[in-house]
A and B are shown apart, each in its own frame.
Chain A
Amino acid sequence: MQLTLFLIFAVVAVAGAINLLVQRHPIYSALSLVTVMGALAVEYLLLGAEFIAFIQVIVYAGAIMVLFVFVIMVLNAGEVARHPRSKVAAWIGLPVLVLFGVLIVGQVYGNYHQNTLRMGEYLVQTGPIGQSLFHQYLLPFEVTSVLFLVGILGAVVLAARRDDVTDKKTKSVAAGR
């Protein structure tokens, strides 16, 4: 049962990822990414990591991707024109793709017998997650939050400055007239 569900959602995730690249309209690409996030959340759920699964949905599908879709809507982005494919990309890209595939398969098979994941293995309550975040990983956690704060402040500064510039422009235009 769990293996079947795992396979179904694994296929959904990969199909979503491929669709993301193939689609020509950005909004369909964004929605494919939402599908991938959702399928990943189900995989976490199958491992037993309920908290992570729903946080994945809330943060990635519910917040970040909504903003993506929002921006695409506001900019009213149309279909992306196809550029003639670069030959260099094909020459370098394909071998690198194969190389990566071989590496990943090799890694998975090499470690297969040592670390096997079992379904439902990571079934933990929310409490222990908080415990480890605020004790063992306190410093990385706080540093990450400071990083986010810097990002937010940067966004505010950029948005505010543009307002100032347009204000001055309109003022000078009005004065000129």
Chain B
Amino acid sequence: MTFFVISLIKCLVVLFILLTAVAYIQLAERKIVGRMQARVGPTRVGPFGLLQPAADAVKFILKEDLTPDTAHKFLYVLAPMLAVVLALLSITVIPIGPIVTLFGVRTPLQITDINVGLLLILGVTSLGVYGVVLAGWSSNSKYSLLGSLRGGSQMISYELSLGLALIGPVMLAGTLSLRGIVEAQRHMHWYILPQLLAFFIYLTAAFAETNRIPFDLPEAEGELGAGYHTEYSAMKFAMFFLAEYVNMITVSCVATLVFLGGWMGPLFGPAFLRALLPVIYFVVKASFFLFLYIWVRGTLPRFRYDQLMSFGWKVLVPLALANILVTSLIVALH
């Protein structure tokens, strides 16, 4: 029973943090990209535009919810739900700090600690394709279908290098548990050093997997309207939007945990600061990756579709396989 209550509380807290984070990452994105393009971004709602996310939420709720006549109704409604649920599912295994004692309850700072956490994330990511594919198909529109075909093939292709890139660190750590991978980096260095190649492969594949610039072919607004979510409006669109940003957060968290030592860092000061610092380190490291997303968006142009596919299959996958080969040789020789 206590387990149930604790899990419920943790879920609610995580959900609250996550939704707030999504709202403000989106605001930060508009601000930062604005600055990069010599604009100021939203400033009108609240001080420095800080209440803009709330205004956006109200707007999404009040807008008319359209469903095309020719759409396959059931799947058309199911697709955005699937996208959000799958995005939220993978956050359950992300640990944001060490095991702590709060109000007399000893608990890890994560919703659940399963010993194949990394596999759960990969599995849920691989299911994420359904949201995109079904949305595009059920909309019964040319742009949507083209967008979802691109999205589907892109996500299947880059998922491969994403998973292969993570095998190197997993071999070094000897466990698939995210907490275990972080603990393995305590006495050694962070895995970004011995696994630099894997880190960059992971980062590239992650950008493609979350459909972000420079790999945002599925929603290339210049040629496809909005790609797979062209026909979606109001809250259904907002759900895709939410799913995309939650996926960005998950991917950044995994990069932090696997390559940057998670919540590891120098501890100093009084007791409460010692307890708080790991979480702060984690948030700072993950925020760096989120900033990187925005920075890249403001800097790089979009790939061409054939470049995207040949890059994924002819460059990333062989590199990732070579990395696994070398890493396993080194691990075996030790």
Contact = CB atoms under 8 A, between A and B. Distances in A.
B122 A66 contact: no
A51 B133 contact: no
A55 B136 CA distance: 27
Contacts of B136: 73
A69 interface: yes
B114 A50 contact: yes
A70 B157 CA distance: 13
A126 B149 contact: no
Nearest to B160: A63
Nearest to B176: A126
* Max count, chain A CB within 10 A of own CB: residue among B130, B148, B153, B159: B130
Contact of B126 (A61, A70, A74, A127): A61
B145 interface: yes
B152 A58 contact: no
Contact of A63 (B114, B126, B133): B126
Interface bin, chain A:
20 to 34
Interface in A60-107: 61-63, 66-67, 69-70, 73-74
A145 interface: no
Interface string A5-35: 0000000000000000000000100010010
B126 A69 contact: no
A51 B152 contact: no
A50 B115 contact: yes
B203 interface: no
A51 B118 CA distance: 11
A63 B156 CA distance: 7
A70 B129 CA distance: 10
Contacts of A61: 123, 126-127
A57 interface: yes
B116 interface: yes
A57 B174 contact: no
Nearest to B170: A126
Contacts of A170: none
Contacts of B122: 54, 58
A62 B149 contact: no
Interface in B156-180: 156, 159, 163, 174-176
Nearest to B74: A28
Contacts, number: 66
B130 A69 contact: yes
A144 interface: no
A74 B123 contact: no
**Interface majority SS (helix, strand, loop, mixed), chain A:** helix
Contact of B130 (A51, A66, A126): A66
A66 B155 CA distance: 10
Given A50-B115, A55-B119, A57-B123, 4 more contacts: A66-B133, A70-B133, A73-B145, A126-B116
Contacts of B148: 73
B190 interface: no
24 contacts: A27-B75, A31-B75, A34-B130, A50-B114, A51-B176, A54-B116, A54-B122, A57-B124, A58-B123, A61-B123, A62-B126, A62-B127, A62-B129, A66-B133, A66-B152, A69-B134, A69-B137, A70-B149, A70-B153, A73-B136, A73-B137, A73-B148, A126-B116, A127-B174
B120 interface: yes
B145 A57 contact: no
Contact of B137 (A27, A58, A62, A66): A27
Contacts of A27: 75, 137
Going nearest first, the 6 A-B pairs with the smallest beta carbon separation are A62-B126, A54-B119, A57-B123, A58-B123, A50-B116, A54-B123
Contacts of B159: 62
Contacts of B115: 50, 125-126
A54 B124 CA distance: 9
Contacts of A54: 116, 119-120, 122-123
A66 B156 contact: yes
A31 B74 CA distance: 12
Contacts of A50: 114-116, 119
A122 to B, nearest CB: 13
B327 to A, nearest CB: 15
B126 A51 contact: no
